[in-house]
A and B are shown apart, each in its own frame.
Chain A
Amino acid sequence: MQPPKLKPALELPLPAVLPGRAATLQAAQRDVLGFYDQHAPALLRYARSFGLAEEAAEDVVQDAFVALFRHVVLDRPRHNLTGWLFRVTRNLSLKHRRRSAAPTADLFTDLLLERLVDPAATPEEQMAFDQRAQRLRAVASALSPRDRQCVYLRSEGLSYREIAGALGLSLGGVAKVLTRALARLSAADRR
């Protein structure tokens, strides 16, 4: 029996060796702010999903983008930066949650249900909504935390490759988890 497979480490550099060119720094800053415009809302939701308060989630996301700035300035690999950002946000959120005795329950199930079930207007729709939400909640709650995060990130629009990067899984692993989890959810929804 081998020990569990180690996930790849992220690297938040210590003393940085910079090329020392102002243009490089400015370009990196521009790139990072562009990424912020594109991904900050989704990353804030992701950080909040770990049970963090709004303010704490904002701090975590800011820290993630500062880490991205270092990453870019150091000319580290740029493929799958979206997955990288989600992974850093996840790690920082978990770290923050461990430090501040924040509630440990994640909110992925609630967020998923918001996306899976349409809001109701009439009392009849409300009843159908409640029943459907109850069924899906039962299935979503029974998923492992990792599987739930896979489904959540897919619902945020991330590609399989980006999810793999965010959670440190193989591409095949993500496909397998999503196939299995979505089959369960859709089976529960068809009942």
Chain B
Amino acid sequence: MQDHHLREDERARARHAIGRAQLSARLDTEAEKLNRRWLPPFSSAWVAAAAVVAVAVGAASLLPLRVPSRPGAAAIETGALPVASLTPGATVDIDVRDVCDETPRPPQTISIGVRQAVLHGYGMESVPEDQYELDYLITPQLGGAPDARNLWPQRYQARVWNAGVKDQLEDLLPRLVCEGRVDLRTAQRDIAADWVAAYRKYFRTASPVDPPSTVALLAVSNPVYPSFAGIDYHKGFIWSTSALKR
């Protein structure tokens, strides 16, 4: 076993050395290339480059900006929502300042008694524990209490309206509260009443926001050195030409 690890280490070191040598050679080439591409400021080449960019920006502005959404409402699977009579939601005393305080807080603990009471209520004592998580209906960040009335066993099997989707709502609502766009009590009430309906309301979509490639082409206004960038809403960067400004 030890020999095996030693061989692995040697192999990794050899691969690293090869990679380093290749990178060193590429950096030499890159330095040469960058020098060749050097353009003095205000040369005719810059004017030509700016013209190309301007045309591209004009074309880009014609592209529609697609907001991620799917046609039609996604069905709500069994178990995606808690039983309202068992889990109406419960909160602790909290105000907007507490919601907006970004200091990491220690996770609240759920007592074994509370856990058992919740599982008993849902008749899920015998369901394997790796098939669900005990979820706060009103998230602690919005003041949700570690109380049996605010906890429910959310099943992982839900494919559409699952814990990951609820996490998106749990991330969005505190932000809206902090920006003063939603009242804290309204946010608590909406997520407690029907978190799927709340998701649809605040994300303005019938189905969970899927991260398809949603590209926006942005023009950055600078009449001397115009530049533009392609940005993918969900994956971040594609490219940018702002280096032309330098």
- A contacts, CB < 8 Å to B: 1, 3-4, 6-18, 20, 25, 29, 32-33, 36-37, 40-41, 58, 61-62, 65-66, 69-70, 73-74, 87, 90-91, 94, 98, 134-135, 137-139, 141-144, 147, 168, 170-173, 175-176, 179-180, 183-184, 187-188, 191
Contacts and interface: CB of A to CB of B under 8 A. Distances in A.
A170 B131 CA distance: 31
Interface residues of B, number: 60
A73 to B, nearest CB: 7
A36 B20 contact: yes
Contacts of B102: 170-172, 175-176
B23 A62 contact: yes
- Top 4 A-B residue pairs of the complex, sorted by shortest distance between their CB atoms: A13-B243, A172-B102, A138-B130, A183-B107
Contacts of A144: 164, 167-168
13 contacts: A3-B65, A7-B237, A10-B240, A36-B20, A37-B16, A62-B19, A70-B30, A87-B236, A87-B237, A142-B156, A144-B168, A172-B102, A183-B107
A61 B203 CA distance: 36
A171 B26 CA distance: 35
Contacts of B126: none
B162 A142 contact: yes
Contacts of B213: 98
Given A11-B243, A15-B39, A16-B34, A139 B133 contact: yes
Given A17-B41, A58-B19, A138-B131, 11 more contacts: A3-B233, A4-B68, A11-B240, A15-B39, A15-B49, A29-B27, A36-B23, A41-B16, A62-B23, A66-B26, A142-B133
Given A15-B49, A142-B162, A1 B204 contact: yes
A66 B27 contact: yes
A89 to B, nearest CB: 12
Given A6-B231, A91-B236, A142 B163 contact: yes
Contacts of A1: 202-204
Given A1-B202, A91-B237, A40 B19 contact: yes
Given A7-B231, A179-B107, A14 B133 contact: no
